[in-house]
Amino acid sequence: MTAGEGASLGEALRARVGDAIYQLFDEADEARLLMGTDRGIVLVNQACERMFGYARDRLVGQRARMLTPERLFEDYDRVYVRLVEEGAKRTVNVNLWAVREDGDEFPVRVVCRLLRPFDDHPPLLSLVIADRSDPDDDPLGFFLDTVHSGNVIVDGSGRIVMANARAQELFAYEKDELVGRPVELLVPSAQHARHVSLREGFSGQAQRHEMAQGNRVVGRRRDGSTFPVHVELSTIGTDHDTLISASVRDMSAVEELQSEAERLKSLFLRTVSHELRTPLTSILGSAEMLADEVAAVDDPDLRDRLSWLTGMILRGAQRQHDLVEDLLTLTSVDRGEADRGDCVTDLTVVIENVVHEYRAAAVAVGVDLLAETSDVPILVRADEHWLTRAIDPLVANAVKFTPRGGRAVITAGWTPGEVWLEVADTGPGIPEEEWEQVFDRLHRGAAAVEAEVPGAGLGLAIARSVVHASGGTLAVVPSREGARLRMTLPGMDAEMMR
């Protein structure tokens, strides 16, 4: 193939696929190259020019040998023959060595596939090339992106223009069943309207966008079954002739692994917690009995020393016992045991019980603990045990972080269909940058670390998990002084509260 023949074939291919599709090829991030069965280069993209240091007019029509080390010509000839043989059946990926215009050799990963764009012309070999000499390069990620991602190209009206073999495999459609059809064919019926709105709002100027970041995206197969997917969108063309390229990856295996990891984590925590609970219970019981014996010691000096030691044992064992209970609570919440929307609880009763529990501790540290609630029952759709578990750490933290002479106030009320509760204190408050972090598991705020306040950083994580399981919300809200946390929960109808 001469340079002129290569250029002519390239122009014919470009005319066949259209300017928009060619632009997608030319502006791809990966180096891409098309060559004939005689190893003459037909097309290269901009990334390929940058990788090898040649302008495309110096590549098109030349033998691909010019991009490989001379010492490997014969070996690569044999590899090429095998690639052509295998390329007719499937995608093949190989590790090779390449050479730049300046003679610098470098390792590459090449993904190859045989294409047949013309009925009256021999097939072309499509190569996607990645530089393996880059220490930040991820060969596995490259392999997944170029081989295991389905690619669907959609026009401005939402019609499928092209779908690669992997996309056809993912959605179980033949090529002629996809091309020309609305892309909503690949989306569950219940999400059609929302998908159309998202597609129409997608900017033609955006270069890359991950669809529904942080949310679960679902695809629909030909038989109606659904599966989780990760979708990355790119746009090409002008406002009048825009195409959207969607790279689709099946996330089923990832979700299965995540589910299994969560199950094993929950099992581990539950097993370890149960194993720790038994000896801790024995230690606490024995320490309490020992404290009774110490109280009967006649020698005051000895009694004081022994009381100090038994007090240390009791406090340490109690902290560990509380940690074990928190771990067990988290595993219970993760298993869905806190979702008790069929229960009805009077919020004022829960508040009264929690305040009674912490009254003595508040008095001991000089904190005024107050509850301001209605004389009318405030009914919520939640389980009393779990609701107590959610409010407990809010009050505990308010008492713990409020300095002597300060106060902690619990208020509650309702609007039709919703109940709210707030816990406010006059302590150091929570920095705005930590308003979300304080609900992370094992998070210890800057104030807690600086003041060396004991705790494992699980209380607020448990509280929010329980509240979310009950269909409510829990968040830090702005406050002129100290910290203020607000909880909302599904309430009963207003008539039932009268």
The top-level CATH class assigned to 345-497 is: alpha beta
pLDDT in tens for each of the 498 residues of the chain?
555 565 576 677 676 666 767 777 788 888 999 888 788 898 999 999 999 999 999 999 899 999 999 888 887 777 777 766 655 455 677 788 999 999 999 998 888 777 776 666 777 888 888 888 865 554 444 444 444 578 888 887 888 888 887 888 889 998 788 888 888 899 888 888 777 777 666 644 445 555 544 446 889 999 999 998 888 877 665 555 567 778 888 888 777 877 777 777 667 766 766 677 778 788 888 888 888 888 888 888 888 888 888 888 887 877 777 767 776 776 667 666 666 556 778 888 889 989 988 999 899 999 999 988 877 788 887 778 888 888 988 999 899 889 999 999 999 988 887 889 999 999 888 888 888 888 887 666 666 656 556 556 677 888 888 888 888 899 988 888 889 999 998 876 543 444
Eight-class DSSP state of 403: P
Residues 218 and 188 sit within 8 Å (Cβ to Cβ): yes
Distance CA 417, CA 349 (A): 19
Alpha helix ranges (H) inside 408-455: 446-450
What is the CB neighbour count within 10 angstroms for residue 81?
Answer: 10
226: β partners: 220
> d(Cα 7, Cα 399) in Å, to the nearest integer?
79
pLDDT confidence of residue 291: 86
- Between CA 234 and CA 24 the distance in angstroms is 9
CATH 1.10.287 range(s) for the chain read 255-334
Angstrom distance (rounded) from CA 252 to CA 268? 24
Q: What is the dihedral of CA 457, 459, 461, 462, to 10 degrees?
A: 140
The ranges of the chain annotated as CATH 3.30.450.20 are 3-147, 149-250
Instruction: Write out the CATH class of domain 3-147.
Output: alpha beta
Q: Which pLDDT score, from 0 to 100, does residue 435 have?
A: 85
How far is the C-alpha of 477 from the C-alpha of 352, rounded, in Å?
23
Note the pLDDT of residue 138.
47
3-state secondary structure of 496: helix
Q: Using an 8 Å Cβ cutoff, are 462 and 389 in contact?
A: yes
Q: How far is CA 378 from CA 4, 271, 410, 411, 422, in A?
A: 84, 38, 14, 12, 14
Residue 284 sits at φ, ψ, to 5 deg, of -60, -45
Cα distances from 441 to residues 172, 220, 274, 401, 455, in angstroms, run: 41, 35, 20, 19, 12
CATH topology of domain 149-250: Beta-Lactamase (3.30.450)
pLDDT for position 136: 52
| pLDDT at residue 395, as a whole number | 92
DSSP assignment of 332-387, as one string?
HHHTTTT--TT--EEHHHHHHHHHHHHHHHHHHTT-EEEEE--SS--EESS-HHHH
Domain(s) of CATH 3.30.565.10: residues in the chain: 345-497
CATH number of 255-334: 1.10.287
d(CA 463, CA 473): 10
Give 325-361 pLDDT, tens digit per residue.
776 776 667 666 666 556 778 888 889 989 988 999 8
